[in-house]
Amino acid sequence: MIIKSSFKIRVILSAFLITSLLFMAASCSRSMQSEEDLIKAMIDEVVVAVEKKDLKSVMKNFSSDYRDEADLDRDAMKRFIFYHFLKSEKITVFLRSVKIGLGQSETPSQTPGEAIGEAIVDIEFIVVKGKEVKSLIDLLPEDAAGIEATILMRKEGKSWKALSSRWFHVGTAGAIL
């Protein structure tokens, strides 16, 4: 009886230890993500939210201080995005390029971007509205818009938020090449 009980206790303790180690590894990997990884993950989340037309999930990535070069503040951008969600049956986004430049740190002990918490993100993407498209091969130039954007981002708490942006229509061919 004592042998069986101690075996059960060892199994339970081993299972507890393994579970604890897995949770610790998962939390360490999340905390060890670079700022660039966090920004890329946020961009991927926005793409998914746009394709689902999930306005709330898109807007959570805009700073309350957002204002772009067209003088759109956060509320105006929300209305602009909502208009495009209503206008199109289907929206597909193809990311072509994402380049992230973090702000410079003020002291050598800080990681880049930590001191001022800002980043410049240059992104190229293609937006297809109103048509089901699985890949760029299926795309006709008149069905899509190629866009290059420069987004100023600011770290607010643990999240990166868009603070300002500049958009350029480059045509579908310009975004594909």
What is the per-residue pLDDT across 126-136, written as a single tens digit (0 to 9) for each?
888 877 777 77
CA 22 vs. chain centroid, Å, equals 26
Report the alpha-carbon distance of residue 77 to residue 151 in Å, rounded: 14
Q: Distance between CA atoms of 123 and 101, rounded to whole angstroms?
A: 11
Q: Which residue has the tokens 């100023």?
A: 152
Mean pLDDT of the chain: 79
Query: Rounded to two decimals, what is the model's pTM?
Result: 0.71
Average pLDDT of span 1-7: 51
Residue 66 φ/ψ, nearest 5 degrees: -55, 135
Is a pLDDT exceeding 80 seen at residue 73? yes
Provide the pLDDT for residue 25: 44
pLDDT digits (tens, 9 = 90+) for 8-20: 555 454 444 454 4
Q: Is the pLDDT of residue 55 over 70?
A: yes
